[in-house]
A and B are shown apart, each in its own frame.
Chain A
């Protein structure tokens, strides 16, 4: 699976959009970009995934550049409950199993 690079930490003011970047310059054509987050002392939570088109769900939006070498997770109106470590993961789904390997992630602090 391709390697990802994320800033170790970011701050965001409450109510503003949080834009979390991820570089995955070695991504291959059949690899998807996944985002998870982990709130303190809880298990990671799946947020969103995409291949090459932008995606949106009730939690967030995912913007993938045209060359697919980077992506941005957008939390449109950050709240204090969005304070967490955010993990960007690139992987290929196998036919019978797949595995998620977590990098260091970005620690997002939402400031009142």
Chain B
């Protein structure tokens, strides 16, 4: 299995809702990442997990809450989002410290109404 699977592919949520994005990989990668991408912009790094521990938080607002329950799974919990949080949310994984590329999922298209 050489894929990163993200669910759901599309999500519409209200500003008072709580929802979660899920990312799964079975490549044995021990580093996992969340990126946010607005239209016509490059992906922006949000969080990095290494060996299931949060290694980097790029000053992301607390309404985004990451979780890495095990080495294969990465979640992003969403609460009280704003319309400007609407974006494509991308998950990626890699071997930490090994000079291979990242494997990205195809993303979750989030719309906040």
CB <8 Å contact, A43 and B107: yes
- B56 is contacted by which of A47, A49, A93, A97 (Cβ under 8 Å)? A97
CB distance from B105 to the nearest CB of A (A): 5
Q: Which of A32, A96, A99, A102 contacts B51 (CB 8 A)?
A: A96
Q: Which residue of A lies closest to B97 (CB)?
A: A95
Q: Is A103 an interface residue (CB 8 A)?
A: yes
B50 at the interface (CB under 8 A from A): yes
Which of A36, A42, A94, A96 interacts with B101 by CB under 8 Å?
A36
Residues from 47 to 75 in B contacting A, C-beta threshold 8 Å: 48-51, 55-56
Task: Specify which chain A residues have a CB less than 8 angstroms from the CB of B98 in the assembled complex.
Answer: 93
Contact A96 B90 (CB under 8 A): no
A101: Cβ under 8 A from any B Cβ: yes
CB within 8 Å: A-B pair count:
73
Asked if B42 contacts A104 (CB within 8 A), the reply is yes
**Pairwise interchain contact A97-B42, C-beta atoms closer than 8 A:** no
The reply to whether A103 and B55 contact each other, CB–CB distance below 8 Å, is no
Query: Are A96 and B102 in contact, with the CB atoms below 8 A?
Result: no
- Residues of chain A with a CB closer than 8 A to B96's CB: 94-98
0/1 per residue, A75-112, Cβ < 8 Å to B? 00000000001010000011111111111110000000
Q: Does A94 contact B42, Cβ atoms closer than 8 Å?
A: no
Q: Within the assembled complex, what's the spacing in Å between the Cα atoms of A68 and B15?
A: 48
Q: Which of B81-108 contact A (CB under 8 A)?
A: 88, 90, 92, 94, 96-107
Extra contacts, 18 of them, besides A44-B104, A96-B55, A99-B48 (Cβ < 8 A), are: A32-B99, A41-B88, A43-B90, A43-B105, A43-B106, A49-B99, A49-B100, A85-B42, A96-B31, A96-B50, A97-B49, A97-B96, A98-B97, A100-B33, A100-B92, A100-B102, A103-B42, A104-B42
- 7 A-B residue pairs with CB within 8 Å: A41-B106, A42-B106, A43-B90, A43-B107, A44-B90, A44-B92, A93-B98
